[in-house]
Structure 1
Amino acid sequence: MIEWSDDKIHSFQITLLDWYDHNKRDLPWRQDHDPYHVWISEIMLQQTQVQTVIPYYERFMADFPTIEKLASADEGKLMKAWEGLGYYSRARNLQKAAKQLVDDYHGKWPKTSEALQQLAGIGPYTAGAIASIAFNQAVPAVDGNAFRVFSRLLEIDDEISQPHTRQLFEKIIGKIISKDRPGDFNQAVMDLGSSYMTAANPDSSHSPVKEFDQSFIDGIELNYPVKNKKPRPKAITYYGLVVRSSAGILMQKRPDTGILADFWTFPLVTETELLTFDGKDEFLTESDMMTALTRYFKHNYQLLLNIQPLPVKAVIHTFTHQKWTIHLLAAELSSKVNLSFFPGNWFSQQDFLDTAFPKVQQKMTERITSLDA
């Protein structure tokens, strides 16, 4: 790892901030230093690209312009506003933190990184971003951009997924960050990491800080940051039932824990669960599978379905640790059927418009909509 002198640190600060002053991205949450605006944008930007976030951020601010509005918001309206961004626990934690701020802090923001991390859903990175941008605290905001930028600048060989590595980077960047303009420094690092120092195909030869980039000088920049390869997501096969009646389409509410907790989807059954129920190692024919599904719904929910295949491609959706392949099938029921044993209800067309759905359900809906077009 390279260590810089005080003079080189000062020169780097000047170079980086001068570039940022002339080239910073014009983003709606950068129009002021309001901690609420910084917070909402940073939470939205987790796992989501900037251009995708901008319209969501603007609509969210129109719907929930203050902490108080967010704290008192109807959960259904909040989830609908978040629909499409994914990782819905982020939205739930936003509301939890807003309630903490209103109830425990009387609407006043804590100003240090340590205190900010006492709020729901705010970790070290988000706390550092809020503290530096909104309150001019000289603390680093260490995210993927910061890992990539500083590991390349200084040839830091520590593996970034290890817990101790964040602390190492926080210590190193803490010595380099501008004490006068920490918020602009952190945002400049974000912009640098998303432009010249990207993960793939970096343009380091034109980077404003190329003279400080030791890995570029040594021709090994793509070796950084050092990280272990992620394991492939576990492949899981599902059967999704599109069950219709005169009352609409049958929707199932997911359990309150696990993936897609508390969200509505078509009834889904894993192939593994169905095979276990049917006492088989595999289904030899499609007919065998549909017969097993029919018996499964009769046994578990007292619903007698006449299941038919749908002429659509399987829906494929990847989560962080799982990859779902969903085969869609059709069935019909009377709207008067007893749903007492089934964790769901009929959804009308209006219900579909009013309800927030996870991305995988949106994909399934698009598949069956294509049939009706």
Structure 2
Amino acid sequence: MKQLLPLLIEWYRENKRDLPWRRTKDPYRIWLSEIMLQQTRVEAVKPYYERFLAALPAIKDLAEAEEELILKLWEGLGYYSRVRNMQTAAQQIMKEYGGALPADYEKLRSLKGIGTYTAGAIASIAFGLPHAAVDGNVLRVLSRIFLDAQDIGLEATKKYWKEELENVLTGEIASDVNEGWMEVGATICLPNGEPKCGICPFREYCGAYRQSVIHLYPVKGEKKARTVERLQVVFLTDGKRVALRKRGPGLLANLWELPNGGAEISLPSLLHLWGILDGEITPMRHRKHIFTHVQWDMDCYFVQTKSTEDTPFLWLEPDRITEEYALPSAFRAVWAEGRKKLQ
């Protein structure tokens, strides 16, 4: 490991991508980028990052923001608990740390939504502290170089490599080392498709490359099969306004959604339950949406009605929904198709 670090640092400094969050040492901006990048592609994050900071440029602004605003700023990124946890942490920071992220790994870990990886990233990148940040990218690279057959889905594996890295880290190099491993994993030692071994700075050191067993690493335990749920999703309109409602607890809790229900009853019966007695039904495109553990198979419909009085919905003009209300990704394609039909 000690032999590899100078090579990694040199490669990273020469080849790193120019990303907005790499142009700053502001802890808030680094924290925001790390949260946004969880389970989201870099290119997708860039416009969200800029827009979020334009609206909420400081921790104080995030702490005091209305929830509808932060959800709207996050609309389309998914995993909305991330931004809700960020706001809770921002409020904690205002109360306990005078509005500034603490330059201390354990204190960072105590904040809502900040785990070992994110704490290590903030500590090293923003504050120059010798803590490792070990994510899937890093584990993939290290497992291939060192022919490590530990299951990368296990916390014990992450802990092992965190300790291995911290044995050789100093504050001066921690940021470049952490970002370097991440960059190799994101741009060369790829998660999907063929890794770019021909341009990898570690090719001659890599056990998996030398033994032609790259396809065997990293080792991952079997994923639990997703549950499939069938839904009927309705773009419900009176010709000028569209119906929305808030979800209850559970998946996508308290977010706005298009009216929907299970497929165990007919659509007319579902409409009657909502108080819609005169709905004109037009089928729309069938859609699927995949969450981490659940897949929604959605039969989608455009329904026009006149009876809006005794319905359990909020009826709003489409432009207002677009500007003010966050719709989860699961419903956005249905929304876009329904909006076109409405015009």
User: TM-score, normalized by length of structure 2?
Assistant: 0.94
Aligned to 1:149: 141
**Could you say which residue in structure 2 is the equivalent of 1:293?**
270
| Structure 2 partner of 1:356 | 326
Q: Structure 2 stretches of 5 or more lacking a match?
A: none
| Deviation sequence 1:194-232 (CA, Å, 0-9, x none) | 111112310123201212211111111221111023233
Compared CA separation, residues 336 and 243, structure 1 to 2 (3 A): closer
The aligned counterpart of 1:3 is none
Pairwise CA distance, 1:179: 4.8
Structure 1's consecutive aligned runs of 4 or more residues displaced over 4 angstroms after TM superposition are none
Change (3 A) 1:32 1:330: closer
Q: How high is the TM-score relative to the length of structure 1?
A: 0.86
1:13-52, CA deviations, whole angstroms, 9 ceiling, x for partnerless residues?
Answer: 1111011111111111111211111100000000111111
Given that 2:141 and 2:181 are in contact with CA atoms closer than 8 Å, whether structure 1 keeps it comes out as yes
Structure 1 residue 150: Cα displacement: 0.8
Matching of residue 329 in structure 1 with residue 301 in structure 2: yes
Task: Kindly report which structure 2 residues correspond to 1:30-109, keeping only aligned pairs within 5 A, or say none.
Answer: 30-109=22-101
Counterpart amino acid of residue 244 in structure 1? T
Cα contact 1:178–1:185 (8 A) shared by 2? no
Cα offset for 1:154?
0.9
Given residue 269 of structure 2, which amino acid in structure 1 is its aligned partner?
A: A
Deviation at 1:328, TM superposition (A): 2.0
**What does residue 14 of structure 1 align with?**
6
Post-superposition Cα deviations, 1:66-96, rounded to whole Å, max 9, x if no partner, equal 1111111122111111111111111111111
SS state at 2:106 partner: helix
* Aligned AA (2:337): R
Paired with 2:303 and 2:47, the residues of 1 have a C-alpha distance of 38
* Corresponding residue of 1:346: 315
Is 1:368 aligned to 2:338, yes or no?
yes
RMSD: 1.8
> Which has the higher mean CA deviation after the structures are superposed, 182-191 or 229-238?
229-238
Query: How many angstroms apart in 1 are the aligned matches of 2:63 and 2:171?
Result: 34
Structure with higher Rg: it is 1
SS at match of 2:229: strand
Paired residues, what number?
A: 341
Aligned: 1:313 with 2:264: no
User: Secondary structure at 2:159's aligned position in 1?
Assistant: helix
SS at match of 2:143: helix
Counterpart amino acid of residue 309 in structure 2: V
Counterparts of 1:152-191 in structure 2, within 5 Å, are 152-191=144-183
The 8 Å contact of residues 247 and 335 in structure 1, kept in 2 or not, is answered as: no
Matched, 1:242 2:235: yes
- 1:294 and 1:133 mapped to 2: Cα distance? 53
Superposition pairs of residues 197-236 of structure 1, within 5 angstroms: 197-199=189-191, 200-236=193-229
More displaced 10-residue stretch of structure 1: 138-147 or 227-236: 227-236
Aligned residue type for 1:290: L
For residues 269 and 308 of structure 2, what CA distance do their matches in structure 1 show?
24
Structure 2 counterpart SS, 1:327 = strand
Q: Which residue identity does 1:35 align to in structure 2?
A: P
Q: Given residue 333 of structure 2, which amino acid in structure 1 is its aligned partner?
A: K
C-alpha distance 104-335 of structure 1, shift in aligned 2 (>3 A)? farther
Unaligned 5+ segments in structure 1 are 1-8, 275-288
Give the conservation status (yes or no) of the 8 Å contact 2:229–2:294: yes
* Identical positions, percent: 34
Contact 1:306 1:331 in 2 (8 A): no
Aligned in 2, Cα 1:336/1:154: closer, same or farther, shift over 3 Å? closer
Checking the alignment, whether the CA contact within 8 Å between 2:144 and 2:208 is kept in structure 1 is yes
Q: 2: distance between equivalents of 1:73 and 1:138? A: 33
Q: Partners of 2:280 and 2:238 in 1: how far apart?
A: 15
